Amino acid sequence: MLLTFLGAVREVTGSSYLLETESSLYLVDCGMFQGEGEAKNEAPFDFSPSSIKAILLTHAHLDHSGRIPKLVKDGFRGKVYATLPTIELCEILWLDTVKLMKEEAERINRKNRRAGKPLIKPLYDEKDVEISLKLFEPVPYDEVISLEDIKFRFRDSSHILGSASIEVWNKDVKLVFSGDIGQQEGGMEGTPAEIEYANYVVIESTYGDRIHKTLEETRREFAQVIQSAINENGKVLIPSFVVDRAQRILYEIRLLKEQGVLSNSIPIYFDSPMGKSVTEVYRKYSTLLSGELQKYYLDSQDPFDIENLKYLSSVEESKRLNDLETGIIIAGSGMCTGGRILHHIKHNIWKDSTQIIFVGYQAQGTLGRKIIDGAKSINVMGEEVVVRAKIHTINGFSSHADQRDLLKWAEGFQSNPTFIITHGELSSSQAFSQLLRLKGYQTLIPLKGQSVDLLKKEISEVRPQLPPIDWDSLISELSSQISTLKERLSNSSDMESFNLLKAVSIILREIIKNNF
């Protein structure tokens, strides 16, 4: 069995792993790149999509699932195995992504038409999502599923609703993919399942170099920030992943109300067209939530039901919040790479009465990362805006395990496996690798494109990957430039420009002669 690393290596997004047996190809995750690597989403896949027999999907977050509709667009027609909550959340997320990509393409194309530049197309559309959803095959936790040449089992990773670690068997090798692992204590989904045996474990390292504050400390810090904002009569902006993190924040706000920290006079807005739908999925599968939240349902209460909470769907409702002087606004995206939070940041980050609370990981290259790194001004939606708001980072509500939690999960294995460390910035992966080595484990931090023969225990060299050549865009750009030259130089006596263009013509003639 050959394992090839296609994404989320030495970075946090773009999770994707290719498994090759003697007769079949499988993918574990097929996620979007975000932040600095976003352009890689447009690149062709490193394999023929139609050759993939099946996808094993760890969870719904876009950095794990977001390129599946593109894979389908490019020819994939195998099955996608996932838990029922993951399937329902993917439908919501993918359709919302299509809408956002379409709006972004329209915005860019308006500028491109004026500039005479080529028009762009979204990564995929509603039809691709519709076909993708039909390929899902629901699987329960803890049941071994047998395919032609592999067996696999999904185990609850307690990261978000429906998330899984995946055990895979092929011949004499057992491989485990951690997926994204939740915290050992204080998470919304309980405690990650322990797995005792594996030869190899592909383990995430998002917070491999950090320790979260305790739940008690985190709740105290959150309460202090909210109280400070109330005292200053300002807005509180909470950029949030709409799946899981937003529901966690709703629950924590409910606790503040129960404790009397937050009065019912403070308006709360969940500004997302899919916010209500996602929260309904959490209610539907409430038996997968932690005991702390299930106690509410036992008492016929809803942990996500908050007095004075309004779900906003329309753009008009969202824009009306510009006139709001004080209140709490929860909006996506969590890394400020898109969505309605950009609108709220643009209109409020320049005010010193505004408090912005980041409650999730901010990848390199994202606007969220620039803000928490102390940028004095930022570019939002094409406009330069000064940063005067008070910025807070509260990682204790993260649905990711910290270093201590990752180590505890890793030490649950009794078979002394080799740990392959992914899904983390290099510094984080290195820190966690060093910790595991000190504990006596073998580790590997792979490179993108690197392969491991799991039977022979051989690691491949990485062949240099050349960027894809976009001939169509280049030729279109040349045609546009030639048209512009015709208009501007047809009656010109500029001999210097003439000679330069003559030299370009000779180069083009040579290219044609050598290639055709």
Nearest CA among 354, 352, 356 for reference residue 388: 352
Two structure tokens written together for 430: 């290195």
Query: Side by side, which strands form the sheet with 2-7?
Result: 136-138, 79-82, 52-56, 25-30, 16-20, 2-7, 451-453, 458-459
How far is residue 442's CA from residue 201's CA, in Å, rounded to a whole number? 11
Grouping H, G, I as helix, E, B as strand and the rest as coil, residue 208 is coil
How far is residue 197's CA from residue 151's CA, in Å, rounded to a whole number? 15
Q: Which residues contact 347 (CB under 8 A, 6 or more apart)?
A: 322
How far is residue 128's CA from residue 121's CA, in Å, rounded to a whole number? 13
**Residue ranges of E strands in 148-281:** 151-156, 164-170, 173-177, 200-204, 235-239, 268-271
Q: Domain 2-210+399-459, CATH 3.60.15.10 — does that match?
A: yes
How far is residue 288's CA from residue 489's CA, in Å, rounded to a whole number? 70
Query: CATH number of 215-397: 3.40.50.10890, 3.20.20.20, 3.90.1150.10, 3.40.50.720?
Result: 3.40.50.10890
How far is residue 300's CA from residue 309's CA, in Å, rounded to a whole number? 19
How far is residue 4's CA from residue 458's CA, in Å, rounded to a whole number? 12
Q: Which residues contact 316 (CB under 8 A, 6 or more apart)?
A: none
What is the model's pLDDT at position 60? Answer: 97
Grouping H, G, I as helix, E, B as strand and the rest as coil, residue 328 is strand
How far is residue 309's CA from residue 306's CA, in Å, rounded to a whole number? 6
How far is residue 358's CA from residue 338's CA, in Å, rounded to a whole number? 15
H/E stretch holding 88 reads helix 84-115
Q: Helices in 260-350 by DSSP H: which ranges? A: 275-284, 291-298, 315-320, 341-348
What is the model's pLDDT at position 515? Answer: 64
75: left (phi over 0), alpha (psi -120 to 50) or beta: left
Is the Cβ–Cβ distance between 132 and 94 less than 8 Å? yes
Q: Residue 256: phi, psi to the nearest 5? A: -65, -40
Question: What count of residues does the chain have?
Answer: 516
Grouping H, G, I as helix, E, B as strand and the rest as coil, residue 329 is strand
Grouping H, G, I as helix, E, B as strand and the rest as coil, residue 30 is strand
Q: Helices in 380-494 by DSSP H: which ranges? A: 403-410, 426-438, 471-489
Is the Cβ–Cβ distance between 3 and 454 less than 8 Å? yes
How far is residue 236's CA from residue 239's CA, in Å, rounded to a whole number? 10
Place of tokens 């779900």: 311
DSSP single-letter state for residue 11:
S
Nearest CA among 458, 429, 441, 410 for reference residue 4: 458
How far is residue 507's CA from residue 516's CA, in Å, rounded to a whole number? 14
What is the model's pLDDT at position 465? Answer: 52
CA 326 from centre of chain: 30
Regions of the chain with pLDDT less than 50:
464, 466
How far is residue 481's CA from residue 416's CA, in Å, rounded to a whole number? 62
The pTM (predicted TM-score) of the whole model is 0.85
How far is residue 129's CA from residue 69's CA, in Å, rounded to a whole number? 5
Across the strands, what pairs with 451?
4
In three-state form (DSSP H/G/I as H, E/B as E, the rest C), the secondary structure along 432-457 is: HHHHHHHCCCCEECCCCCCEEECCCC
How far is residue 18's CA from residue 416's CA, in Å, rounded to a whole number? 24
Domain boundaries along the sequence of the chain = 2-210+399-459, 215-397, 471-515
How far is residue 247's CA from residue 264's CA, in Å, rounded to a whole number? 19
Is the Cβ–Cβ distance between 96 and 62 less than 8 Å? no
